[in-house]
Amino acid sequence: MSDAPGTGQADREWAALSGLPPVAPDRTLRYGDHPSQVIDQYGPPDGPRVTVLHGGYWREAYDRSHLTPFAGALAAHGWTVDLVEYRRVGGDGGWPRTADDVDAALGALGAPPHVLLGHSAGGQLALWAAWKRDRAAAARVLAVAPVADLARAHALGLSEGAVAEFLGGEEHVAARLPEADPMRLFPRVPVEILHGTADPDVPVELSRRYAADWGARLHLLPATGHFAPLTPGTPAFHVLLDALR
C-alpha cells in the first residue's frame, strides 16, 4: 500500500490487517454509474450508523477491500457500517472528483450518520466533508491518522508526492489547496482524532497542527503506527471503539 509501512513495526501492522480474511457485506448500494461509486453495508439496517472512508493516499491501487474485516468487526459490535468506495487517482478520480464522490455518497445514504470515520487519506476526505456539506455530514467526525494538513504533507513529500498527484499536478497545488486542505476549512461538526505516535506514514504532527488550529479533540496512541486502530482485536482498535461510543 502506498501509505503502507516500510519496515519493522509498521510492516507488521500492515501485515496483520491485510492478512485478515475479507468479510462480505450484507448489502451493497450504488450511488453512481462508475464501478467505484458503491457503498458496502454491514450490520443491521437500523443500528447506530458509522460511515467509513478508507485511505491509500487517494490512489487507484488501494481500495476499500483492506477495511472489510474492520467493517465486519464494527458490525459485530452493533454498528450499521457504510464502507464507501470512491474514484481515485488513476481511476477517473483526483481533485475534485474524489471529493464529489464522497459528497454524493453521503447524499445517497440520506440521514447523516452518527459518525463519519476517515482513515489516512480518507481522514482528509472526512474533514473536508465536515466543512463542505450544506447539511451536517455527520453528528461528528472521527479521523484516524488523517492527512489533516495537505500543505505540510506536500512539503514533506509524503508517499512520493501523493498530494500533488491528488490535486492534479504540481502546477495546481497552490490554487487547489484552499478548497481541499482541512487546515483551511473550518469543521461544522465536532471532530475527534486518533493518531499513533509511531506512525511512519502520516506523521502525528499533522494531527497536532489541525487540533491546535481547530480545537479538535486529539487522542495520541503511544507506540502505535498507521494500521493498528483498524485491526480488530488490537488495543488501539478498542480505543477506537471507545471513541465511537
Higher pLDDT, 128 or 1: 128
Mind listing the domains of the chain with CATH numbers? 8-244 (3.40.50.1820)
Query: Average pLDDT in the 196-214 region?
Result: 97
Q: How far is CA 211 from CA 51, 149, 172, 197, 200, in A?
A: 22, 10, 26, 15, 19
Q: What is the pLDDT of residue 137?
A: 83
Q: What is the pLDDT of residue 9?
A: 79
Query: Average pLDDT in the 10-34 region?
Result: 95
Amino acid at 20: L
What global pTM score does this model have?
0.95
Per-residue pLDDT at 5 exceeds 50: no
Per-residue pLDDT at 172 exceeds 60: yes
